[in-house]
C-alpha cells in the first residue's frame, strides 16, 4: 500500500500525518509532496524521516491513494494526473465538490455512493461535516424541511495565515499578511470566504450545496450565516431544524446517541454542553443544547461543535482512505 500526501507541510497536512499514524493504516510507503521550497526537507513519520519530493516524482510513483491538501488550484491541475495513473485521489479542497460526477463523502453518512471506478473523491467543507454528522440521522428518520444555520468558525479554518494573524494581534502586533479584512482578536467577523453577487459568502454557499448533495436532498430549504470568531481550533454551529413531521425529543436523543462518531453532551443541569475547548483534538463531533423550537411547528434547536482540523478535514480524509483500502470496497 503506497500513499502520497500532497501539502504535507501545511496545517492540515501535518494533521493528516498525525491521524495516519494514530489510525495505523497498513502503509508500505508514504510519499510526501510540498511546494518547491520544501523539496528535500525531512518530515518525521513513525519515528523515521521522510524527504519531501516533487509532484512529478509522486505521480511517477503511481501511489494507490493520494490525499490532497494543497488548495483548489493544485487539485484541479494535478489530481487528474494522479487519476490517470490509476491512483485514487482524496481531495480536501473545494475543487471537486460541486462536480456531480465526483462523490462528496462523509463515511458515516454516504459511503454507499462510492464506486470502484471512482478516481477522485471530495472531502466536504469542515463546517458541513460537523453539522451533517448531527443532522443526517435525524433527516433519515424524520425528514428535514428547512435548516437555518449560523457557524462560529475558528481561525485555524484559515490555516496558518489565520492563526498567525490571531497570535500577532493577541500580542498587540499588526499582521502584515492578514487572513481577514478586520482584527480578529477580541472581535467577531460576520464573513467567511468571499462575497457572492447574492450577498452570501462562498463559505455559506458551500454549506448549502454540500448539505443537499451529501444528504441527496435537493429539496431542503437552507440558509446560512458564517461568522469567524477568535478561537484557535474547532468550529461551532447553531442549527435550527424544521422537520417534515412531528417528533419526540426522546426520539431525537435516541437517534443522536445511535450515530457513530457523534457524542451527545447535553446536561444543562450541570452546565455540560459542547465547546471548542473540549472538542479540540478530538475525532468525534459533539452535539448538545437539544431543545424543541416552540416558535414553529416541528422545530428543533441544536448546538454542534467539531475540531475542524480533525473530523472537519484530516480524520474524514483518512477514514475515506480506510474505505478504499477495505476489501469490501474493492470487491464492488
Domain ranges of the chain: 2-124+313-330, 127-308
Fold for the domain defined by 127-308: Dihydrodipicolinate Reductase; domain 2 (3.30.360)
**CA dist 237 → 4, 171, 262, 286, 304 (Å):** 33, 28, 14, 10, 5
Catalytic residue among 78, 139, 235, 265: 235
Q: What is the pLDDT of residue 332?
A: 42
Catalytic residue among 78, 126, 139, 265: 126
pLDDT tens, 10-52? 999 999 999 999 998 888 999 999 988 889 999 999 999 999 9
Could you tell me which CATH class the domain 2-124+313-330 is placed in? alpha beta
Q: What is the pLDDT of residue 330?
A: 53
pLDDT tens, 239-257? 999 999 999 999 999 999 9
253 assigned to active site? no
C-beta separation of 2 from 33 below 8 A: no
**CA dist 70 → 91, 109, 311 (Å):** 9, 25, 18
- Structure letter (DSSP) for residue 280: T
126 assigned to active site? yes
Nearest to 88 by CA among 324, 265, 271, 260: 324
Q: What is the pTM of this model?
A: 0.95
Q: What is the DSSP string of 32-92?
A: EE--GGGTT-EEEETTEEEEEE-HHHHHHT--SEEEE-S-HHHHHHHHHHHHHTTPEEEE-
**Residue pLDDT tens, the chain, 332 long:** 999 999 999 999 999 999 999 998 888 999 999 988 889 999 999 999 999 999 999 999 999 999 999 999 999 999 999 999 999 999 999 999 999 999 999 999 999 999 999 999 999 999 999 999 999 999 999 999 999 999 999 999 999 999 999 999 999 999 999 999 999 999 999 999 999 999 999 999 999 999 999 999 999 999 999 999 999 999 999 999 999 999 999 999 999 999 999 999 999 999 999 999 999 999 999 999 999 999 999 999 999 999 999 999 999 999 999 999 985 445 44
| Residues linked to residue 3 through DSSP beta bridges, in sequence order | 30, 65
Amino acid at each position: 500500500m503506497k500513499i502520497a500526501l500532497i501539502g504535507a507541510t501545511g496545517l492540515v497536512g501535518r494533521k493528516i500525518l498525525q491521524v495516519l499514524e494514530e489510525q495505523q493504516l497498513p502503509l508500505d510507503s508514504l510519499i510526501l509532496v510540498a511546494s518547491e521550497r520544501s523539496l528535500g526537507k525531512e518530515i518525521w513519520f513513525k519515528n523515521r524521516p521522510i524527504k519531501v519530493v516533487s509532484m512529478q516524482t509522486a505521480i511517477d510513483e503511481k501511489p494507490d491513494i493520494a490525499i490532497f491538501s494543497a488548495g483548489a488550484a493544485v487539485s484541479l491541475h494535478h489530481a487528474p494526473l494522479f487519476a490517470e495513473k490509476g491512483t485514487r485521489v482524496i481531495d480536501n479542497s473545494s475543487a471537486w465538490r460541486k462536480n456531480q460526477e465526483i462523490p462528496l463523502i462523509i463515511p458515516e453518512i454516504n459511503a454507499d455512493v462510492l464506486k470502484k471506478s471512482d478516481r477522485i473523491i471530495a472531502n466536504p467543507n469542515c463546517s458541513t461535516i460537523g453539522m451533517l454528522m448531527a443532522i443526517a440521522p435525524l433527516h433519515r428518520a424524520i425528514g428535514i424541511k428547512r435548516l437555518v444555520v449560523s457557524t462560529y468558525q475558528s481561525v485555524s479554518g484559515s490555516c496558518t495565515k489565520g492563526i498567525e494573524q490571531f497570535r500577532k494581534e493577541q500580542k498587540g502586533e499588526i499582521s502584515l499578511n492578514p487572513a481577514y479584512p478586520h482584527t480578529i482578536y477580541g472581535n467577531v467577523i460576520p464573513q467567511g470566504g468571499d462575497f457572492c453577487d447574492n450577498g452570501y459568502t462562498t463559505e455559506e454557499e458551500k454549506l448549502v450545496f454540500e448539505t443537499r448533495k451529501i444528504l441527496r436532498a435537493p429539496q431542503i430549504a437552507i440558509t446560512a450565516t458564517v461568522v469567524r470568531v477568535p478561537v484557535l481550533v474547532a468550529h461551532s454551529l447553531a442549527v435550527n431544524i424544521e422537520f417534515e413531521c412531528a417528533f419526540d425529543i426522546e426520539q431525537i436523543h435516541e437517534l443522536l446517541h445511535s450515530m457513530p462518531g457523534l457524542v451527545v453532551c447535553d446536561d444543562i443541569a450541570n452546565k455540560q454542553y459542547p465547546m471548542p475547548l473540549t472538542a479540540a483534538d478530538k475525532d468525534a463531533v459533539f452535539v448538545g443544547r437539544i431543545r424543541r423550537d416552540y416558535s414553529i411547528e416541528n422545530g428543533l434547536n441544536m448546538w454542534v461543535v467539531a475540531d475542524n482540523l480533525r473530523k472537519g478535514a484530516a480524520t474524514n480524509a483518512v477514514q475515506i482512505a480506510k474505505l478504499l483500502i477495505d476489501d469490501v470496497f474493492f470487491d464492488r
